[in-house]
């Protein structure tokens, strides 16, 4: 494994753990299933996601 591969793997892991890749998956879904609809910005998506988390708390440590 090269250093480049290691960095790529670590980057992928951190995006998955932090939820950053959720936006990319959501955009792909919107474009595939709702091609005519506008896609909200990453910032708007994150704001809506945080609002949803705050209004619908799930089991978490903090």
Asked whether residue 8 carries a pLDDT value surpassing 90, the answer given is yes
Q: What global pTM score does this model have? A: 0.66
Domain for residue 38, yes or no?
Answer: yes
pLDDT at 3 over 70: yes
Residue 25, in any domain of the structure: yes
User: Hey, what are 45's tokens?
Assistant: 């998506």
Q: What is the domain extent for residue 27? A: 3-55
Residue 62 lies in a domain: no
Taking only Cα atoms into account, the Rg of the chain, rounded to an integer number of angstroms, comes to 15
For the residues 1-16, what does the mean pLDDT come to? 94
Would you give the end-to-end CA distance of the chain in angstroms?
A: 37
What pLDDT is attached to residue 54? 85
**pLDDT (tens digit, 9 = 90+) per residue, 28-62?**
999 999 999 999 999 999 999 889 888 887 766 65
Q: How many domains does the chain have?
A: 1
Judge contact between 40 and 48, C-beta under 8 A: yes
Q: What's the pLDDT at 57?
A: 77
The overall longest dimension of the chain from CA atoms, in Å, is 44
Quick one: pLDDT at residue 30? 95
Taking the C-alpha atoms of residue 8 and residue 10, their distance in angstroms, rounded to an integer, is: 6
């Amino acid at each position: 494994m090269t250093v480049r591969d290691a960095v790529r793997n670590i980057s992928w892991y951190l995006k998955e753990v932090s939820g950053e890749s959720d936006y990319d998956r959501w955009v792909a879904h919107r474009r595939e299933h709702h091609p005519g609809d506008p896609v909200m910005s990453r910032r708007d998506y994150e704001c809506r996601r945080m609002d949803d988390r705050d209004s619908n708390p799930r089991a978490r440590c903090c």
